[in-house]
Copies of this chain bind each other. A is one copy, B any other.
Amino acid sequence: MTLNILFAAGPDRWEDYARPLHKALTDAGLDYHLATELPPEEVDYMVYAPNSTVQDFTPYTRLKAVLNLWAGVEAVTGNPTLTVPLTRMVDAEGLTQGMVEWVTGHVLRHHLGMDAHIVNPEHRWAPEVPPLATDRKVTILGLGALGTACAEMLSALKFDLAGWARSPKEIPGMTCHSGPEGLAAALEGAEILVLLLPDTPETRDILDAQALARLAPGAAVINPGRGPLIEDAALLAALDTGQVGHATLDVFREEPLPRDDPYWAHPKVTVTPHIASETRPPSAARVVAENIRRHQSGAPLLHQVDRSAGY
């Protein structure tokens, strides 16, 4: 029997999700009909976003589950007309894998000195080769799920890796430091620094003038973690003295980054718009399709929201 799946997450998202959903549902072996409009009483599953035009679920008498495209469900958990299971999006593949790609790419960009070739108005042919990764010191602050995944990839590329976390860790191919006393050792002489710490009272402003002074002269700072990890005035000062050669920043204390923020105009800063780790339509579509497949086969839904707890 063909499953009727209503895409009720908004017309602006249909463009990004139509193809990935068709592919994921087909790959999952489902016999389905996917559309943005269907008679309510014929809908089996609903792909949803909290700002959907569907706010009254009463007419959806055959509905089996609502699959939310976002992690946040606070705007829908209290809806009294929603009585069927609700799932939230946990796109682990998109979040972790995306972060590994972004971090690996920007570490290699700084390691290889790509910018000098990407922007080369004088057409300089200067065959200077960078050292090998073995001879390049990279330090990661923060060794949670994201930091560890990035460390594994940078270790496969053979970088000379150090890391730091609040509590002791062991990661193959990496010298792991921990505790307040380990931070200085992790920073000492680092040529490329990656920030992947959470935003807590202890980590706020962790990259201050003292920390920046420990890096190798001309080091690159890469922040895909949290904006408040960096004391912005100290970083700007270190960029101006040359102690930091370049900063690539994906997160900021205020986002979008205000138009008058000095990071925008600084010649040694690359701003990326909080894209290092994001839900991706193809991987999110695979999570949706897998959940429909599971539900149809009688298996429990993944990431089902406990509406009494609110998440």
Chain A interface bracket (under 10, 10 to 19, 20 to 34, 35 or more):
35 or more
Among residues of B, the one whose C-beta sits closest to the C-beta of A136 is B101
Given contacts A105-B114, A119-B119, contact A97 B158 (CB under 8 A): yes
- Asked if A231 lies at the interface with its beta carbon under 8 angstroms from chain B, I say no
Among residues of B, the one whose C-beta sits closest to the C-beta of A126 is B273
Among residues of B, the one whose C-beta sits closest to the C-beta of A152 is B156
A217 to B119, CA, bound (A): 24
A129 to B281, CA, bound (A): 10
Residues of B within 8 A of A129 (CB): 98, 275, 278, 280
Residues of B within 8 A of A119 (CB): 118-119
Given contacts A115-B118, A256-B125, contact A104 B157 (CB under 8 A): yes
Among residues of B, the one whose C-beta sits closest to the C-beta of A115 is B118
Among residues of B, the one whose C-beta sits closest to the C-beta of A278 is B129
Other-chain residue from B100, B256, B257, B282 in contact with A157 (beta carbon distance below 8 A)? B100
- Asked if A270 lies at the interface with its beta carbon under 8 angstroms from chain B, I say yes
Query: Which residues of chain A from 107 to 166 have any CB-CB distance to chain B below 8 Å in the complex?
Result: 108-109, 111-112, 114-115, 117-120, 123, 125-135, 153, 156-158
Contact call B106/A104, Cβ cutoff below 8 A = no
- Asked if A307 lies at the interface with its beta carbon under 8 angstroms from chain B, I say no
Contact call A127/B278, Cβ cutoff below 8 A = yes
Contact call B105/A109, Cβ cutoff below 8 A = yes
Among residues of B, the one whose C-beta sits closest to the C-beta of A280 is B132
Other-chain residue from B127, B134, B280 in contact with A97 (beta carbon distance below 8 A)? B134
Given contacts A104-B104, A123-B259, A264-B123, contact A271 B131 (CB under 8 A): no
CB distance from A100 to the nearest CB of B (A): 7
CB distance from A10 to the nearest CB of B (A): 17
CB distance from A4 to the nearest CB of B (A): 26
- Asked if A94 lies at the interface with its beta carbon under 8 angstroms from chain B, I say yes
Contact call A98/B259, Cβ cutoff below 8 A = no
CB distance from A273 to the nearest CB of B (A): 4
Given contacts A257-B125, A264-B123, contact A101 B97 (CB under 8 A): no
Among residues of B, the one whose C-beta sits closest to the C-beta of A286 is B134
- Asked if A204 lies at the interface with its beta carbon under 8 angstroms from chain B, I say no
CB distance from A301 to the nearest CB of B (A): 23
CB distance from A28 to the nearest CB of B (A): 16
CB distance from A9 to the nearest CB of B (A): 17
Further pairs besides A93-B134, A118-B118: 8, Cβ < 8 Å: A94-B132, A97-B134, A98-B129, A100-B157, A104-B104, A105-B111, A132-B280, A132-B282
30 A-B residue pairings within 8 Å (CB atoms): A93-B132, A94-B132, A98-B129, A100-B157, A101-B111, A101-B112, A101-B132, A101-B157, A104-B157, A105-B109, A105-B114, A109-B109, A117-B270, A118-B118, A118-B270, A119-B119, A120-B271, A123-B264, A125-B256, A125-B273, A126-B273, A127-B278, A128-B275, A131-B280, A131-B282, A132-B283, A134-B283, A135-B280, A135-B282, A156-B156
